[in-house]
Structure 1
Amino acid sequence: MADDAARVNKLLRQQAAIAGFGSYALRENDLHKVLTEAARVCAAGLDVPFSKVCRYRADENDLLVEAGFGWRPGVVSKVVSRADDSTPQGRAFITGEPSICNDLREDTGFELPAFYAEHGIISTVDVVIHIKDKQPYGVLEIDNNVQQDYDQHDINFLTGFANVLAEAVATSARLELLQTTIGEMKALVTEKDRLLDQKKVLAEELQHRVRNNLQLIYGMLTKQLDDTADEAGQRGLRAIARRVFTLAKVYENLLGTEMTHATDFGAYVKSLCVNLSEIQDGDIDGIDLVCSSESFLLELDMVTALGIIVAELVTNSYDHAFADRTGAIAVTVVRDAQALDRGRLTIWDNGAGFVEQPGSKRHGVGLVRRLVEQIDGDIHLTVDNGARWIVDFPIPAASSQHLDEYQAS
């Protein structure tokens, strides 16, 4: 009865040891600490002075003592055994089955490393640390310097313990892989940010250069106007200068933003209108120009085309709509309430009205119609107490997405 009670208590202690180690292994991320604790708990569970965990090294085809309990210095992380049947742990590893040696003195088939004799090892039990769908990690071994007769209960304890240890090893490997992946992703993100910053700097530099060059060309054209007496020549130079000016305003509006391929058309139109009155000739003090616009983030090609359209039609009103040099011009940009993928640009004046004559020399109006066709838009003119130009144009889905990102930033 006493023996039965002692056996039951031993089994309960061993079960508690496995459960306690499992809890520890889940909390601890350092695999070496987990292996060392495993060796200690196994030794305590079977009441032996020595225990070790051996890791298989495929390149060397050996088993390295990765962690241990009770050994003198120079064993853990130093001693290796051949992964073959010349050692107890090698036999367990290659067969995949537990290996029991109750008395090494009687088993002359082993070629044991010197540390066995140095520690007086007589009895050993080895079980394989299996990892699902992978090569075994290695071997868990307990060692005793007193001859013992180990039974199936001891094997079951070590096998159960080795299974828990295998899961801890697999979890550590997954964690290491995850950390490596995260490290690589962080490096990629850092590199991406560096390239984006570099791209931003280069794009801003390009925008500065383009804007400055366009402004230089505009200055040269306006100077040439002063040296040109011919009225037709002045008119042509003024039209070219006006178009160069609208392009310069596109790049000026881009500066200070992180967008290099699109810009807020509403903000651009407002900025353009402020400056359009400043580049007009003659007495325009009696002509009011007002502008209102919703936000549209459009690709640069469309912004450029629409900007030139605004400049041409507004200038046309300044030049031809007001014989007495008094009146009003209004520019509005709105999103179509019925079709959000469409925008509407309206340019209105309360002047004399406009009738486009066949063979007209007003090249600006012809340019406007070509630009509207280029952006897949439609243009309509209504003459009633002035002139009202209506340009309907598409707002690409990509532009709407860019606008959401732009506003969120």
Structure 2
Amino acid sequence: MKTIEEISAGADTFLSDAGALADGLRLGGAGIWRWRIDGDRLQWTRNLETVHHLPPGSFDGSLASFQRDLHPEDAEGVWRKINACIQTGDPYRAVYRTAPRPDGAEVWIETAGGIVQGADGARYLTGVCQDVSARVRNERQLKRILGQQRAVARFGSFALGRTDLQGVLDEAVRLAAEVLDVPLTKILQFADAADHLMLRAGIGWADGLVGQGKVGIDRDSQAGFTLLDTAPVIVRDLRSEKRFTGPQLLHDHGVRSGVSVTIPGPEARPFGVFGIHSRDVRTFDDADAEFLQSLAHIVAGAARQAAAADHRLLLMREMAHRAGNMLQLVNSIASQTFGADADAQTARRSFSDRLSALARSNYVVARGGWSSTPFAELVAETLKPFGDRVTAEGRNVLLPPELCFDLGLVLHELATNSMKYGTLGRRKGTVRVGWAFRLRDDGTRVFVLDWDDADAAARPATGGSGFGSKLIGALVERKWNGVLRHSEGPTFGVGMEIPVAD
């Protein structure tokens, strides 16, 4: 039996007849071999092991050695083509994977050749092998991207024809699972309170979670981190992730890898987060993230379209209702401001200021179509005349439109009170406005608003007998069944708690 060196030398001797062509193939990274059909030995050029990414001495010159280096899933197809060539004499061509490598890398080989008759009269199967791994990866990547683009186009057409947002969300998570071949997908939507995300649609999660599950928005969760980042978030392995630990929801479902992107909202506030997850460690790339982001943008458009349809219906009902209420409110402000003992110039100025506050509140609420309104925008618009003299602290929560409108008037009266008696009437100092949702002991969900004035002399805001104090009390306590409180000491504060349904 010949040694590997002897067989290799014999192959080189055989190939030396090809002269410059054989040298060019070797220099180009191609390995050349031949096999006597009635034998069990191979001859090959010395670089064949390099082409196959194998250490020296891996080939022992036997067919068994060649068989071992074929991927089990591809071996049958390669031998089928070889046998057809032997039987018909037609040339053959095959692309196959080598046996799995310890590092998990895929090596793709292309071989082509045919039957020749040697000087000894025997029939030989000859072939040229070359590493085409890069080409195969590029072809597969192109095919994958084209498939993703077709899926995005189909989903865009689907979303345009739907009037129900939930149907669009359900199709989005189904399509993401299918195209990216993942077991878990989800769409999380911002809660009105802006303190958590709700599992609005998803595939693969435990029964009862979709529609009920909640995820925090702190930076330690993948969703929270995604909302704070402008780019898609790709996770190679959640167990070794250093940027965040991930919510319990992901750990409970054995998640290892995934991608998450932000779903834009109509304004600065996002709609939510779109995520896909795998229980195996997988390498998701930028193309996967861009595909998911494309789906997220279509979802955002569908959400805006659904919201616009709801707004149109709401506006039709609200226009008549609000017009009557607005006139009654203006009449009440006028009658209280222009009392018999009121100074005409002061009364006109107060009336004008209150109408301006009413207009600003109406602008913020009406801009959203009298739907749930971002409270932070109301604060910014109402207190805009005071610039950086007012510090606002709170999430951009959503409130019912009528409550937002009334709170705009309350904020104006508090600011007016501070101009007369407190910090805003001085040259220096700031007023703090803070808000949040919280649960009372009895389970009632309340919206808490605090106004902190550094000047203790501002106390007439709730304890006075003027129209401003009466208006605040009427709106907070009687109309909204809220609770008013005030504190006096080194500073003066007004607080209110208003029940708001979830």
Do they fold alike, i.e. is TM over 0.5? no
Tell which structure's C-alpha radius of gyration is larger. Answer: 1
Q: What's the TM-score once normalised by structure 1's chain length?
A: 0.43
Name whichever structure is richer in helix by fraction: 1
